[in-house]
Chains A and B, each alone.
Chain A
Amino acid sequence: MSDLKAVPKAIAGPSNFLDERLGGANALKRNLRKIFPDHWSFLLGEIALYSFVILLLTGTFLTLWFKPSMMEIAYDGSYAPLKGVMMSEAYASSLEISFDVRGGLLIRQMHHWAALLFVAGMMVHMLRVFFTGAYRKPREINWIIGILLLTLALAEGLTGYSLPDDLLSGAGLRITEGVAISLPIVGTYITFFLFGGEYPGEDVISRFYSLHILLIPGILLALVTAHMVLMWVQKHTQMPGKGRTNKNVVGAPFYPAFMAKAGAYFLFTLAVVAGLATFAQINPIWLFGPYTPADISAGSQPDWYMGFLEGSLRLMPPWEINLFGTAQAGTLPLSVIIPALLPLGIIMTGLALYPFLERWVTGDNREHHVADRPRNNPHRTSIGMSAITFYGVLWLLGANDEIAANFHISLNWTTYAGRVLIFVAPALAYLITYRVCLGLQRSDQAIISHGVESGVIKRLPHGEFIEVHTPPSEDIEAHMRGKEAVPMLPVAEDPSGIPPKGMRGPVGKLRGRMSKAYGGEKIPLDDGHGHGHEEEHAAIGTGSGSGDDDRSITH
């Protein structure tokens, strides 16, 4: 087979037809060979994107049989143990999808697994963007869109989880109601409007259904599109490396390489979801039975992404106050409001504000297209790890009954420990991460100024053994030299001790102090005594002298 010499007629004809009507050649000229930089971590967001596509496809399949109705009927399907049991049409049709539709169980399980993967993909993608500083100017808007997407995905998961109307999904709905009704002033209104009256009523499944299959996915789709368009227009960030600057982008062209890679990656995601749905059972609703508010099974657990809320509810001490005396309205169930709103609020608000706070503290108003390595902005990385730990403790506590049962620990002590850890662990994570970042920066410094251990041991004429160091390879050195000091405000005081303008009031002073701590170069890459000397360093001592003496001989 030889290469094409001209565009084949089958393609040329239609494209000519389209171009004469739409004039797409100009756009395609610029975009067909658009460059996409390569790094494993850039693929994480794609997992979320492809999971979303899988969710739309499998979800559409499920709607063909699912009946979003809470009408009580006697089950007449083929799952024998529940024959004749009274249940909602929603649950009966979920059973029908599972047992009476060929491939129904597979698609239902794929939908559930894809949902778990969707949120997981979004979260690791968000962490990648955070730790590499890829949210910085000009990408703040896309960052905010991402946070909206994550929030909506949680709502989408919550509404979808409730639809099968089995005992487990009902437990989730009951907790949702308990949280909603506890909200100050508007709580009873919200629950009555949501459920059409008192819980559970007969409306919530059909209402959640329209939210789950129309409203929220519609907004998600619009925001995902905006997310993609902005990424396309602003071009992807790249990791520091050889030939990569803030003014270019190095990588593979969209057509044909990136297109093929992305296609393959979609297929991998699909294959993983299909494999999980085949071999790993998820949400066996037929075992739980129909929902009734009178029953629950022990060890009920939400989907993983709701685990942190579950944990924070479990962690809370029993606080409740009555603002205006005993008889009046004004009851604040703090043991529900605080854990339901505070962690979520802290995390989401913190995420949304971070790019702007960082810009305020560093005074950095430049565009950034080269991503940071996490170690090179130690405070940001520490804040991120601290937040992960905060989330992680809550998440772990969401399964404290399982922990207590499997490790034979007192359940109460897991809660007590959690109440301490939720404050101590993030602080510890901050300190440890900060030290680790500086350590990694030092190791970069060592590689840049001393080279890499070559594994070759050389014996010198006077008997000393040294290991020969070689300079790092070009691309690794370029990767490390992509480091840039974290920008800092001009905080230096003038000779008479007056701080610069804008840093005089209490807020200004705080800003100046934060800038000083956050910014600056902690460990410079070239430590001064590096360049020019031979690339050989003492590996082991001569036996008598200390390391310092030995080094002085080799120099």
Chain B
Amino acid sequence: MTDNEHEIEQPDERKPKRVIGTPAPGTSMLGAAEPEAADQDVPGVTLQDEAKARKAEKIVALCFAITFLAGIAFIISYVYFQVGSPDATGTSNLALGSSLTVAILALAIGIVVWTRQIMPKYALVQERHTMTSDEEDREVVADTFLRGANESGFVKRKLLRRTLLLAAAPLGLIPVVLLRDLDNNKMPGADFHKELRHTVWGQKNKEGKPLRLVVEGTGQPIRAADFNSPGGILSVVPEGYEHDLTALAKATLILIKFRPEEIKDGTNRNWTHDGIVAYSKICTHVGCPAALYEQNTHHILCPCHQSTFDAADGAKVIFGPAARPLPQLPITVDAEGYLVAQGDFKVPVGPSYWERGDAEAEAGMKGGQA
């Protein structure tokens, strides 16, 4: 028994008396004349007790009234509370948010009470039909398809069919081709990976001298003699590139000072100066800055995925998912005693990529980093 199965009389001359889809007057449905008597005849529709419904109406009205008041409170709060400082913004957020929450919540509760205590309880039944179409309809569609296909000549005329397919092929490629210039460098795609091999440490400054190591944040160059707190760690960037994020994404260093006897063979001593070692700060796993340092153990830790490197021993991996050590930058001092790069890293920094190869082994064969 479903309401939808009811035949609804459709008078021939429709007058704007009756809204579409609603029962014609006199049928036994909700909203029809004398609903109480009629509804009792509809199985699956249980009316609410009128006394209870009257009580519920008051609750609903209270809820809606709260929504009204809270809505006004929101508008007043918007005008009254200004933003700017964190405190003022916090107050404004609290006033706006709580009035909005109360308004919406009261409205929701009101509607729920309305549905549950005033509207009837329903257990109406509707028939289901299998999704599959009738066999006849399917046959008609199949016939129509065949007829249309034959009428169009698509099947019979080979030349037409093949040239159409031919025509479609380059059209499908156009959107892909159009995306080629997503890369701003306009270089051949096969050269992309060559960019990854180098950092700005290989370049010279304006006076043609090697780049100085400067402190990240302050931009101060570092005098080797001043950096003498054993166990200390410093985040270092190249001079002149302090705000070039793309350069920093590869060239940022950590600087650590060791006592000479602490340095193990993994570290290339020729690339250190007076116990000061510079490693790439960019983790070889997926490129987070390996920013944490534990003085006692000389462990460098990447906070993203906990790759751990032994700073005293060439930053080799001792734990975590990183597969390769943090590359060491060859450093020395210039005439004024400031730390400078001897040159670029001998191996690519940061995460691995397909074209990288085992650059460490290659560099080792050429007599670089062990």
Contact = CB atoms under 8 A, between A and B. Distances in A.
B21 interface: yes
Interface string A314-343: 111111101001111111110110010000
B6 to A, nearest CB: 9
A278 B354 contact: no
A196 B308 CA distance: 31
B20 A253 contact: no
B232 interface: no
Contacts of B245: 200, 291-293
Interface string B78-94: 10011111100100111
A265 B115 CA distance: 12
A273 to B, nearest CB: 9
A343 to B, nearest CB: 14
Interface in B250-274: 250, 252
B221 interface: no
Contacts of B182: 192-194, 196
Nearest to B130: A367
B352 A182 contact: yes
B125 A35 contact: yes
> Considering residues A182, A183, A243, which has the most beta carbons from chain B within 10 angstroms of its beta carbon?
A182
Interface stretch (B149-157, B279-287, B337-345): B279-287
B288 interface: yes
A256 B196 CA distance: 63
A460 interface: no
A199 B246 contact: yes
> Considering residues A6, A103, A275, A412, which has the most beta carbons from chain B within 10 angstroms of its beta carbon?
A103
B19 interface: yes
Given A243-B125, A294-B235, A29 B246 contact: no
A234 interface: yes
Interface stretch (A10-18, A347-355, A488-496, A508-516): A10-18
A541 to B, nearest CB: 44
Contacts of B291: 295-296, 298
Contacts of A9: 16
Contact of A200 (B105, B185, B249): B249
Interface in B192-218: 192-193, 195-196, 216
B20 A249 contact: no
A271 interface: yes
Interface stretch (A171-179, A220-228, A426-434, A438-446): A171-179
A98 B93 CA distance: 10
B303 A298 contact: yes
A545 B250 CA distance: 82
B18 A257 contact: no
Contacts of A171: 288, 304
Nearest to A260: B115
A335 B20 contact: no
B114 interface: yes
A155 B185 CA distance: 27
Contact of B84 (A29, A99, A177, A415): A99
B100 interface: yes
A54 to B, nearest CB: 11
B285 A28 contact: no
Contacts of A103: 78, 92, 96
Contacts of A183: 354
A13 B4 contact: no
A16 B14 contact: yes
Interface string B344-361: 000000111111111101
A359 to B, nearest CB: 15
Interface residues of A, number: 132
A218 interface: no
A177 B287 contact: yes
> Considering residues A13, A33, A171, A320, which has the most beta carbons from chain B within 10 angstroms of its beta carbon?
A33
A200 B68 CA distance: 49
Contacts, number: 354
Given A251-B124, A260-B114, A106 B18 contact: no
B318 to A, nearest CB: 10
Contacts of B324: 320
A411 B319 CA distance: 10
B246 A268 contact: no
Interface stretch (A78-86, A464-472, A478-486): A78-86
A502 interface: no
B88 to A, nearest CB: 9
A106 B96 contact: yes
Interface string A411-455: 110010000000000000000000000000000000000000000
Nearest to B254: A294
Contacts of B100: 106, 274, 278
Interface in B314-370: 317, 319-324, 350-359, 361-362
A427 to B, nearest CB: 24
B22 interface: yes
Contact of B4 (A29, A181, A277, A401): A29
A196 B128 CA distance: 54
Nearest to A315: B321
B248 A336 contact: no
Contacts of A264: 107-109, 111-112, 115
Contacts of A178: 285-288, 350-351
Given A198-B246, A200-B249, A271 B78 contact: no
Contacts of A329: 193, 354-357
Contact of A274 (B101, B183, B243): B101
A175 B287 contact: yes
B226 to A, nearest CB: 21
A339 B321 contact: yes
Given A106-B100, A367-B130, A12 B19 contact: yes
Contacts of B123: 243, 250-251
Contacts of A299: 303
A476 interface: no
Given A100-B83, A248-B125, A197 B321 contact: no
Contact of A7 (B17, B83, B286): B17
Nearest to B216: A294
B126 to A, nearest CB: 4
Contact of B358 (A5, A265, A331): A331
B25 A5 contact: yes
A7 B22 contact: yes
A279 interface: yes
A401 B288 CA distance: 15
B21 A32 contact: yes
B104 interface: yes
A100 B85 CA distance: 9
A249 B125 contact: yes
Nearest to A287: B86
Contacts of B44: 250
Contacts of A313: 285-286, 304-305, 321
A294 B281 contact: yes
A529 interface: no
Nearest to A176: B286
A462 interface: no
A408 interface: no
Nearest to B189: A189
B126 A331 contact: no
Contacts of B81: 102
Contacts of A138: 131
B179 interface: yes
Contacts of B220: none
A105 B97 CA distance: 10
Contact of B119 (A18, A243, A257, A274): A257
A131 B190 CA distance: 49
Given A314-B321, A318-B323, A333-B352, 7 more contacts: A5-B33, A28-B21, A202-B246, A294-B237, A294-B289, A369-B128, A415-B320
11 contacts: A34-B126, A86-B243, A102-B83, A103-B78, A175-B304, A189-B192, A267-B105, A296-B304, A322-B358, A331-B356, A331-B358
Q: Which 10 A-B pairs have the closest CB atoms?
A: A178-B286, A278-B97, A28-B21, A320-B323, A267-B108, A25-B20, A326-B358, A293-B249, A264-B111, A333-B352
